[in-house]
Amino acid sequence: MIEKLVIIGNGMAPGRMLEHLLEAAPGRYQVTIFNAEPRVNYDRIMLSPVLSGEKDYEQIIIHGDGWYVRNGITLYKGHRIEAIDRVARTVTSSEGVTEAYDKLVIATGSNPLIIPVPGHDFAGVLTYRDLDDVNAMLLAAQSRAKAVVIGGGLLGLEAAAGLQSQGMDVTVVHLMPTLMERQLDPAAGYLLQKALETRGIKVLTQANTKAILGNGKVEAVELADGTIIPATLVVMAAGIRPNAALAREAGLSVERGIVVDDGMRTSDPDIYALGECAEVGGRVYGLVAPLYEMARTAAARLAGDESARFVHLDTPTKLKVTGIDVYSLGDFADGDDREEIVLRDASADVYKRLILKDDRIIGTVLFGEVADGAWFNDLKKKAANISEMRDTLIFGPAFQGGGTSDPAAAVAALPDDAEICGCNGICKGKITSTIKAKGLTTLDEVRAHTKASASCGTCTGLVEQLMELTLGDAFDRSAVQPMCACTPLGHDDVRRLIVAKSLKTVPAVMQELEWKTSCGCAKCRPALNYYLVCDWPGEYADDYQSRFINERVHANIQKDGTFSVVPRMWGGVTSSKELRAIADVVDKFAIPTVKVTGGQRIDMLGVRKEDLPAVWADLGKAGFVSGHAYAKGLRTVKTCVGTDWCRFGTQDSTGLGIRIEKFMWGSWTPAKVKMAVSGCPRNCSEATCKDVGVICVDSGYEIHFAGAAGLDIKGTEILGQVKTEDETVEYIAALVQMYREQARYLERIYKWAKRIGVDEIRRQIVQDGDRRRSYFERFVFSQKFAQVDPWDERVSGKDKHEFRPMAVVGFAEAAE
């Protein structure tokens, strides 16, 4: 018999619990979730990168709508549970929905502490707990005015860094003498304050807030010593309190939080609680690692495993502020029964402190260099006697036994049960065994199969080093290697920081991201130019000097130094007029070779460089634009004759191919893009080996993607099937825009799809209509600034769309 499981709350803890439960006991429960927020489950750990601009909401979704549908889960969004009836075994939501349960899980999270000073209810006073708070702060940050953050703990500092990165003048007001006093000792707190002030964030410690001033809205903050700090935004980040009111009203045992046993059961054996609202063993938790342990325990109990127990373990604290490395763990207070080992490097602002008791580590504080944190954590967890390595302990595992400082050696020295990913409780052995068993070669694959580094991401470096040790030369470093010798940053980090820091010129990128060379190189400059074109359409001026020679002259250089010119033939269709114009150009400039290409066009080979402007001018007079045979952009849309002429054609494949090509023409992409439209499943235009392909069928259009027919041979994946041409164009444009925004420079669609997952692409394009339309609208907007042909005087400036008869405006209106 299927039991009814009702979950109140849809945060990270219940989401992880459901993952475990669906794996351990599939089909046992009919699951219903009530979520007070009007959205799906997302990664709250990553709210700080959303606030800073390094990520957006779509990138931190854990379970999208499709996940709930696939698993038969009913999700009520925007439904706050107002009552639990333990006698009738029902819950009732704010929207009037009543649902019966056999088992109930309460995961109501926590509430932010609001300091009850005068003015705390003014407009402009916000807390920092969920996405709505982040969106409100982002809206306030548009003013570029002044903000005060009350509270110098983890959340407060992450909020301050995020607001400062959005252009606000930020002051942190903290009651205690040093920042993060619960997680850091005074020395590390001092260095943290120094690092924040270097970034332009003002920090006032031992500062007691007396009042928030204003006339119904925030104008300033007054401190107890009389200091007045002008502000238009105040963020309260002074702490959290378990949200246990609903449980208390239902008659459950509540102290600081909802009291549960080590199996996560409340005082009612059919009701469980987990997450920040729960109190287990006299403790409440705010970090994700113990919440995930609660989730594992609750899932096991719901699946029938009565042996599952929650066990307290100290969890490392890490600050999610880009560029500031902080790590703390355990007990670092002073005492007569303990000793310490301290290492300081003043010039590098590095501070390391180990607290020992009876020759065992009981606490760790690291600032500036945190790579050895996992090793120190493992020694602490095992209560290892460190007396024999006392003199070299502070230098990390690489120095034990007379070694040298080598990060790879440090990771190799870790035992298999050493914890690598604190958020998800993943040990070294789990990662290495999964890599070997499943043949994983990329970081994204490891994340997908183990969840290591999939939450806050601070253990990513350790995971990468493990992969290198495990795989050796087989490790695919494409996911982590630096963009070039000019920077240690990879493509993904560069793309993220360009947006986060609003960098809109190549010199700005190189200065702010601390390029090692003055002007970059042939690898990084074209990549930076593409990322800026893609991320800031209409704001960034395309730098042709940062492009390859082929793109600068709109022709492909050949081995003898001459060039190949390919004018565009929309969908492979031409006319006698166009053919005569090509013949005239061939004769006039004595072009030695004319060849029909595989993309249904004509290629003129052997053109001298000095003739290129005149060749393009003559071709332009005949109506030609560049076929972009050299471009990191749309090359061709190959077509068959479809219903116009073919006995088997089901749709107008030629017309659709021309429509797609004219709509997509001019959009730069990370690598070349080839498309095709076949009028029936006989596939005469070879659509199933292209980057994007369409197979016309009786009922509509089957969209394919991620094929390859070059150095790699790969058939396409099916994206989905649609009924109309308009839908086909929308889906393809959205897919290409997603690729443009997420792929690395020179990464083909099939490689990008393998890296991020075909299912994830389908989820975003097919299953999530809002996201698809958003991608589509951004593509349409970017096309207003699409590339043009500098040799053709008529295709320039505001008149360039005269050469593109596709009604872009019509599609934009449809998207709205």
Let me know whether 71 and 129 are in one domain. Answer: no
Q: Work out the pLDDT band at 148, boundaries 50, 70, 90.
A: very high
HEC assignment per residue over 247-268: HHHCCCCECCCEEECCCCECCC
386 neighbors 349 (Cβ within 8 angstroms): no
For residue 498, the model assigns a pLDDT of 87
Last residue of a domain, one of 586, 610, 630: 630
For residue 403, the model assigns a pLDDT of 45
Query: Tokens for 652?
Result: 């107008």
Q: Quick check: is 293 in a domain? A: yes
Q: Give residue 793's pLDDT.
A: 38
Pick from 238, 257, 291: which residue ends a domain? 238
- pLDDT at residue 104 tops 70: yes
Distances (CA, A) of 260 to 4, 257, 273, 309: 21, 9, 7, 11
Candidate from 41-50, 182-191, 235-244, 504-513 with smallest mean pLDDT: 504-513
Give the tens place of pLDDT for each residue, 483-529.
Answer: 888 888 888 888 888 887 788 888 888 888 888 877 788 889 999 99
Could you tell me if residue 369 is inside a domain?
no
Place of tokens 């016309």: 696
Mean pLDDT of 623-643: 91
Residue 139 domain-assigned? yes
Higher pLDDT, 571 or 453: 571
Vertex 364: Cα angle to 359 and 370 (nearest 5): 130
Q: Domain check: are 642 and 769 in the same one?
A: yes
The pLDDT, as a whole number, for residue 466 is 87
For CA atoms 390, 394, 397, 401, give the dihedral sign: negative
What pLDDT score was predicted for residue 344?
85
pLDDT tens by residue, 602-630: 999 999 999 999 999 999 888 898 888 88
Please report the pLDDT score of residue 401 as a whole number: 55
| pLDDT class of 283 with cuts at 50, 70, 90 | very high
Q: How many CB atoms lie within 10 A of CB 251?
A: 11
Both 152 and 296 in a single domain? no
Among residues 233, 264, 6, 240, the alpha carbon closest in space to that of 110 is found at 240
Phi, psi of 331 (to 5 degrees): -100, 115
Whether residue 779 is found in the same domain as residue 642: yes
pLDDT for the residue 336: 81
Closest CA to 505 of 525, 485, 484: 525
Element holding 360 (H helix, E strand): strand 360-367
What is the rounded distance in angstroms from the CA atom of residue 449 to the CA atom of residue 435?
9
Q: Determine the residue type at 111.
A: N
In 3D space, the residue among 335, 382, 397 whose CA is nearest the CA of residue 185 turns out to be: 335
Element holding 620 (H helix, E strand): helix 612-621
Task: Give the residue from 534, 464, 479 showing the smallest Cα distance to 741.
Answer: 534
The answer to whether position 793 is within a domain reads: no
State the DSSP code for 668.
B
User: Are 67 and 159 contained in the same domain?
Assistant: no
Residue among 93, 112, 95 nearest 246 (CA): 93
Please indicate, yes or no, whether residues 149 and 207 belong to a single structural domain of this protein: yes
The enclosing H or E element of 540 equals none
> Which one, of 101, 76, 106, 79, lies nearest residue 88 by Cα?
101
Q: What's residue 408's pLDDT? A: 61
Residue 755, pLDDT > 50, answer: yes
Per-residue model confidence (pLDDT) at position 456? 67
| pLDDT number for residue 143 | 86
**Residue that is last in its domain, among 238, 260, 289:** 238
Going by pLDDT thresholds of 50, 70 and 90, the confidence category of residue 481 is confident
Cα gap 248→266, rounded to integer Å: 11
In this structure, the answer to whether residues 168 and 259 fall within a common structural domain is no
For the record, the structure tokens of 808 come out as: 């872009």
Rounded CA-CA distance 487/477 in Å is: 15
DSSP assignment string, 58-106: GGGEEE-HHHHHHTT-EEEET--EEEEETTTTEEEETTS-EEE-SEEEE
Question: For residue 639, what pLDDT is reported?
Answer: 95
Asked if residue 86 belongs to a domain, the reply is yes
pLDDT, average across residues 162-176? 94
What pTM, to 2 d.p., does this model score?
Answer: 0.67
Please indicate, yes or no, if residue 328 is contained in any of the structural domains: no
pLDDT value of position 406 = 53
Buried residues in 587-617 as b, exposed as e (16+ CB within 10 A)? eebebeeeeebebbbbbbbbbeeebbeebbe
Split at pLDDT 50, 70, 90, the class of 791 is very low
Phi, psi for residue 213 in degrees, rounded to 5? -95, 150
Alpha-carbon dihedral of residues 272, 276, 278, 282, nearest 10 degrees?
Answer: 150
Q: According to the model, what pLDDT value does residue 603 have?
A: 96
Which residue type sits at 469? Answer: L
CA 414 to chain centre: 29
CA dist 294 and 308 (Å) reads 10
For the cut 60, the answer to whether the pLDDT of residue 707 exceeds it is yes
Question: pLDDT at position 83, please?
Answer: 95
Q: What is the pLDDT of residue 800?
A: 34
Q: What is the pLDDT of residues 531-570, one digit of tens each?
A: 998 999 888 877 767 777 777 778 899 989 899 999 999 9
Question: Could you tell me the pLDDT band of residue 797, with boundaries at 50, 70 and 90?
Answer: very low
CA 487 → CA 14, 24, 474, 514, 525, distances in Å? 40, 45, 24, 8, 12
CB-based burial label for 92 (10 Å; 0-12, 13-18, 19+): middle
Within 13 Å and on the Cβ side, how many CA atoms surround 388?
6
Residue 760, pLDDT above cutoff 60: yes
Alpha-carbon distance of 609 to 304, in angstroms, equals 76
Statement: residue 816 has pLDDT above 70: no
Residue 814 has pLDDT above 60, yes or no: no
CA distance 777 to 771: 10
Q: Are residues 523 and 539 in the same domain?
A: yes
pLDDT recorded at residue 798: 33
Which letter, b or e, does each residue of 536-573 get, where b requires 16 or more Cβ atoms within 10 Å of its Cβ?
bbeebeeeeebbeebbebbbbeeeeebbbbbbbbbbbe
Least Cα distance to 401 among 414, 411, 388 occurs for 388
Predicted local distance difference test score (pLDDT) of residue 476: 61
Q: What gap in Å lies between CA 811 and CA 204, rounded to an integer? A: 53
Amino acid at 239: G
Q: CA-CA distance, 272 to 679, in Å (whole number)?
A: 57
pLDDT for residue 322 is more than 50: yes
Which candidate, 334, 45, 356, 328, places its Cα nearest to that of 183?
Answer: 328
The owner of tokens 């548009």 is: 142
Q: What is the CATH number of the domain that holds 740?
A: 3.30.413.10
Phi, psi (degrees; rounded to nearest 5) at 729: -65, -40
Q: Which residue has the higher pLDDT, 323 or 369?
A: 369
**Confidence at 427, pLDDT banded by 50, 70, 90:** confident
Taking the C-alpha atoms of residue 539 and residue 651, their distance in angstroms, rounded to an integer, is: 40
CA distance 229 to 220: 5
CATH of the domain at 90: 3.50.50.60
Across 652-678, average pLDDT = 93
> Pick the residue with more confidence: 411 or 479?
411
Average pLDDT over residues 651-678: 93
Residues 657, 761, single domain; the answer is yes
Please indicate, yes or no, whether residues 640 and 613 belong to a single structural domain of this protein: no
CA 283, 286, 291, 294: dihedral to nearest 10 degrees?
A: 20
> For position 502, what pLDDT does the model report?
82
Work out the mean pLDDT of the chain and round it to a whole number: 88
Q: Could you give the percent of the chain with pLDDT greater than 90?
A: 59
Overall number of domains in the chain: 5
In a domain? residue 425? no
600: closest CA among 579, 571, 625, 562? 571
DSSP string for 476-516: -GGGTS-SBTTBS--HHHHHHHHHHTT--SHHHHHHHTT-S
pLDDT at 480: 55
Which is more confident, 367 or 814? 367
At residue 405, the pLDDT reads 47
The helix (H) or strand (E) run that includes residue 637 is strand 634-639
Question: Which CATH number characterizes residue 615's domain?
Answer: 3.90.480.10
- For the segment 377-414, what is each residue's pLDDT rounded down to a tens digit? 989 989 999 998 888 899 888 776 544 445 566 677 77
DSSP 3-state of 333? coil
Please count the other Cβ atoms lying within 10 Å of the Cβ belonging to residue 194. Answer: 12
Which structural domain, as residue segments, surrounds residue 66? 3-42+55-109+242-302
Pick the more confident residue, 463 or 285.
285
* pLDDT tens digit sequence for 131-145: 999 999 999 988 889
Dihedral sign computed on CA atoms, order 515, 519, 523, 529: positive
Question: What is the rounded distance in angstroms from the CA atom of residue 530 to the CA atom of residue 520?
Answer: 14
CA distance 472 to 220: 58
Task: Tell whether 666 and 692 lie within a shared domain.
Answer: yes
Query: Residues 650, 635: contact at Cβ < 8 Å?
Result: no
CA distance 311 to 302: 18
CA angle 398, 401, 402 (to 5 degrees): 75
pLDDT of residue 460: 76
Measured CA to CA, the distance from residue 81 to residue 522 in angstroms comes to 58
Structural domain includes residue 114: no
| SS3 state of residue 606 | strand
**Residue of 155, 146, 207 lying closest to 178 (CA atoms):** 207
* 641 and 781 part of one domain: yes
